[in-house]
Amino acid sequence: VFEMLPKLGGMLRYGIPNYRLPKDRLDDDINAILETGVKIEYGKRIGTDITIQELRKEYDAVLITIGASTDKPVGIEGESEGESAEGVVSAVRFLRDVGKNLNPDLTGQEVAVIGGGNVSMDAVRTARRLGAKKVSILYRRRVADMTALPGEIEGAVAEGIEVKTLMAPARIDVDENNHVRGVYVTPQMISKIKGGRASVRTTGEPDIF
């Protein structure tokens, strides 16, 4: 197995927070597999450290199991790659850093997370555990339309997470030092129900959150 990160586990280690999946339990399962004779080479990125062509020459079969650990940008001003404001980070990167024990100090800070899926819930609940004084979820639909598991949403609310719905992020507000200081959001109104989820439409001009 060629692994680009320091430890095995993929998103189980670098995406799911420890409070949901204790890493000692994950290590138990991984070690049980390694004891069968599986060999690991850490810090090897396919395409740069070793190529597919090299693997094909050396092995009879090559199985690619890279998972789905890429970011999904919102695509708003101040967030896009190359122009991200200081203080703006993707949830995947944030959770991966925490999985590496590179925990940012959020003590006394205010954190806003865009989205209503399970990754968003992991991010807000992790931010709370890292000392943030206020953590909010910004979501453009209703709570009923969130794709996160109901138990995760309830758990976030129980921990004091603020859930702001019918708000569509428009752009990141920054100061003179390109540091994030807020998010402009556009109010939304429920429209047609499609596939069980409500579609939304804009009802006003962006305002600072």
Structure confidence at residue 193 (pLDDT): 81
Is residue 144 classed as helix, strand or coil in its secondary structure? helix
Phi and psi at residue 46, to the nearest 5°: -70, 130
pLDDT of residue 117: 94
Residue numbers in the chain where pLDDT is lower than 70? 80-83
Per residue in 47-86, pLDDT (tens digit) is 899 999 999 999 999 998 887 777 777 888 877 655 678 8
Say how far apart CA 120 and CA 172 lie, in whole Å.
18
What are the residue ranges of helices labelled H in 48-115?
52-58, 91-99
Residue 2's pLDDT is: 94
Whole-prediction pTM = 0.84
pLDDT given at position 7: 93
